[in-house]
Amino acid sequence: MTINNHDRSQFFIDLEDRFGAHNYHPLDVVVESAKGIWVTDVNGNRYMDCLSAYSAVNQGHAHPAIAQAMMEQIGKVTLTSRAFRNDQLGPFYQELCELTGFERALPMNSGAEAVETALKAVRKWGYKVKGVPEGQAEIIVCKNNFAGRTITIVGFSTEAQYQDGFGPFTPGFKVIPFGDADALEAAITPNTVAFLLEPIQGEGGIIVPPDGFLKRAREICTANNVLLVTDEIQTGLGRTGKLFAFEHEGIRPDMVTIGKALSGGYYPVSAVLASDEILGVFHPGDHGSTFGGNPLACAVARAALRVIVDEKLIDNADEVGAYFRERLEEINSPHIKEVRGKGLLIGVELHESSGGARRFCEALQHEGILCKETHHTIIRFAPPLVIQKADVDWAIERIHKVMTMA
């Protein structure tokens, strides 16, 4: 199949170029509709979606059960603000806490807001519960992290481009190498309130830490009365073949951030999950969001969570993910350096000599597969969790062709 992409799409590309800020460099595919793992562009070409909007559509595009919940709620009430209560928020809290095993939740909209909420919570916990002197709280993060795009969050990024031109930044962060438990131990001081990390670094290139790292991090945090916060906005809700990626090492963090697939791609919904002791530091007026916890968001998220459970998407991610990685490893390509990941969060790292991942993503687009390079040399394969083995076979044929080109 060769994709014809240069008639109707150019019109929309030109409009974006002419009127939009140029803060993205997307593939030139103009999507008009989508269903399950498939998207269709304005020229009628069909592609397998191997990005899932950075894991926001784990349930597959246009899932009918989520659509129905959304439409029903739209007909009732969409926004009350938290000045009043609504009949979706309480059930959402309960279902989310029962599913995840955390005591309390705090709803926001974007992932970055959930991370900001977590940062505020751990700082306040540090001052009010741990007894850190006012203004002295320290948070440890990892090199190569990604947690969103606010000024505070990019302030502790180690990616030069994310920071360039945006300072001054929020103080109080220390960076250690990802996966280095000794460095974590050495970085902790009496003023350390939290260690924030992604259990697998997503935007950083699908980096899986050494076995045992999360376990040791848990022990070190516990021994030092430091909160362990895992950012599961990309890795959570089934993506890695577990509900949360921290389960791969049998640990429990003190706090988790979730977003993306929490709405199945219908609406921005995020949340922070933690204990009563930690989220209990927030009192009325301390923190909030006009749209956070609105009834439409809650109804959508409730349906999105039900789909993950009812359709056993976590087991499917585990099984089909293992199969996908196995089939990728079979490809004998001079360009592939390593295949890695867990569940359906898969990274294919290319050799420097390959000429970069972008040209392979463009070639895959012409074969009917949409994926996106992360950093210069890594291709991420992260299809919706509803993908079946036969779909993987279809994809592998095309990936094989592209990976063995010159």
Ligand X SMILES: *Cc1c(COP(=O)(O)O)cnc(C)c1O
In angstroms, the CA 53 to CA 41 distance is 15
110 vs 377, which CB is nearer to ligand X?
Answer: 110
227 binds ligand X (CB under 6 A): no
Q: Is 48 exposed, middle or buried (0-12, 13-18, 19+ CB in 10 A)?
A: buried
Residues 6+ apart with CB under 8 A from 300: 66, 69, 70, 73, 263, 264, 266, 267, 269
Nearest Cα to 235, choosing from 225, 222, 248, 226? 248
269 vs 357, which CB is nearer to ligand X?
Answer: 269
Pattern 253-292, binding to ligand X, x per CB under 6 A? ------x---------------------------------
198 binds ligand X (CB under 6 A): yes
If DSSP states are collapsed to H, E and C, what string results for 2-52? CCCCCCHHHHHHHHHHHHCCCCCCCCCCCEEEEEECEEEECCCCEEEECCH
233 binds ligand X (CB under 6 A): yes
Least Cβ distance, residue 196 to ligand X (angstroms): 10
> For the residues of 295-355, what is the DSSP string, one character each?
HHHHHHHHHHHHHHHHTTHHHHHHHHHHHHHHHHHH---SSEEEEEEETTEEEEEEPGGG-
Pattern 127-146, binding to ligand X, x per CB under 6 A? -------------------x
List 36, 111, 126, 172, residue binding ligand X (CB under 6 A): 111
- Which range of residues in 32-40, 111-119, 180-188, 300-308 is near ligand X by CB under 6 A? 111-119
CA distances from 397 to 154, 189, 193, 229, 401 (A): 39, 52, 49, 40, 6
147 binds ligand X (CB under 6 A): yes
112 binds ligand X (CB under 6 A): yes
Query: Residues 15 to 54: which contact ligand X by CB under 6 A?
Result: 54
Structure tokens at 100: 């995840």
In angstroms, the CA 291 to CA 268 distance is 10
- Residue 401: active-site member: no
Given 124, 260, 342, 372, the catalytic residue: 260
Given 49, 92, 102, 146, the catalytic residue: 146
State which residue has the least CB distance to ligand X: 111
Residues 6+ apart with CB under 8 A from 215: 249, 250, 251
364 binds ligand X (CB under 6 A): no
264 vs 402, which CB is nearer to ligand X?
Answer: 264
231 binds ligand X (CB under 6 A): yes
Given 41, 231, 318, 391, the catalytic residue: 231
List 126, 202, 205, 264, residue binding ligand X (CB under 6 A): 202
- Which range of residues in 95-103, 227-235, 297-305, 387-395 is near ligand X by CB under 6 A? 227-235
113 vs 349, which CB is nearer to ligand X?
Answer: 113
List 9, 86, 234, 240, residue binding ligand X (CB under 6 A): 234
- Residue 391: active-site member: no
Q: Return the biggest CA–CA distance within the chain.
A: 64
List 105, 115, 187, 382, residue binding ligand X (CB under 6 A): 115
How many residues touch ligand X under the rule CB under 6 A: the total is: 15
List 45, 110, 144, 377, residue binding ligand X (CB under 6 A): 110
Nearest Cα to 273, choosing from 110, 107, 152? 107
116 binds ligand X (CB under 6 A): no
238 binds ligand X (CB under 6 A): no
Least Cβ distance, residue 237 to ligand X (angstroms): 12
- Residue 146: active-site member: yes
Task: Return the SS3 of 258.
Answer: strand
> For the residues of 91-146, what is the DSSP string, one character each?
HHHHHHHHHH--SEEEEESSHHHHHHHHHHHHHHHIIIII-PPTT--EEEEETT--
In angstroms, the CA 63 to CA 264 distance is 8
213 binds ligand X (CB under 6 A): no
Residues annotated catalytic, as ranges: 146, 231, 260
* Contacting positions for ligand X (CB under 6 A): 54, 110-112, 115, 146-148, 198, 202-203, 231, 233-234, 259
